[in-house]
Copies of this chain bind each other. A is one copy, B any other.
């Protein structure tokens, strides 16, 4: 035996991808993120119609375009892994569409909060999972989740609206809780359906995994960050 195995990432990735279940889980994950971005694009473009001014419309449309810009790289990587990008997305269409159906914003402010809080939740969740993946996949995912750079715009608009009408704060706080609840419901359904993706979190011979306590801590971190975002908007969570 040589002294110690090299632990550079390309070797790790090579070893990891020899496990068909690992490859399947990565294809699932990239497919889910890609469809999530396409879907976010569509909903943000839809929300842009509710914008009170042309300037607001351009700001939200910029967020939509930024989401969409990530899709091409995810699709390229899926093709490199020998997967058809659209087949990879297919298992996640129903859950993501259902999430959006159940959280259709009633007005401009609900749309803004959904963009900010929903995007933040998805990003936190995928980043947590990415920590257990090979470096190439992790870098791709982190790049795909880069902030669309409009958080300040959302915070500014929502805080100003609440300052002008305090009743709005109560309604929007409830809305934030509903977004979180619906995201968890759909994420759970996906986890129950996709064995490879769930197994990924449990780890493998050559990959560290998460025990139940670690999964609990992960959800605590995600919930805490959600509460921070709500506080940033001036809302109870």
With A68-B62, A69-B65 as known contacts, state yes or no: A86 contacts B45, CB within 8 Å. Answer: no
- Establish whether residues A38 and B61, one from each chain, have CB atoms under 8 Å apart when the complex forms: yes
- Establish whether residues A42 and B68, one from each chain, have CB atoms under 8 Å apart when the complex forms: no
Q: Mark out the residues of chain A between 59 and 100 whose CB falls within 8 Å of any chain B CB in the assembled complex.
A: 61-62, 64-65, 68-69, 71-72, 75, 86, 89-90, 93
Tell me if A49 is interfacial: C-beta within 8 Å of chain B. yes
> A45 is contacted by which of B62, B64, B90 (Cβ under 8 Å)?
B64
Minimum distance in angstroms from A27 CB to a CB of chain B: 15
Main secondary structure of the interface of A (DSSP, over half): helix
Tell me if A53 is interfacial: C-beta within 8 Å of chain B. yes
Alpha-carbon separation in the docked complex, A65 to B48 (Å): 14
Alpha-carbon separation in the docked complex, A64 to B62 (Å): 11
Minimum distance in angstroms from A83 CB to a CB of chain B: 14
Minimum distance in angstroms from A51 CB to a CB of chain B: 10
- Establish whether residues B46 and A58, one from each chain, have CB atoms under 8 Å apart when the complex forms: no
Alpha-carbon separation in the docked complex, A22 to B69 (Å): 36
Minimum distance in angstroms from A57 CB to a CB of chain B: 7
| Partner-B contacts on A (CB < 8 A) | 35, 38, 41-42, 45-46, 48-49, 53-55, 57-58, 61-62, 64-65, 68-69, 71-72, 75, 86, 89-90, 93
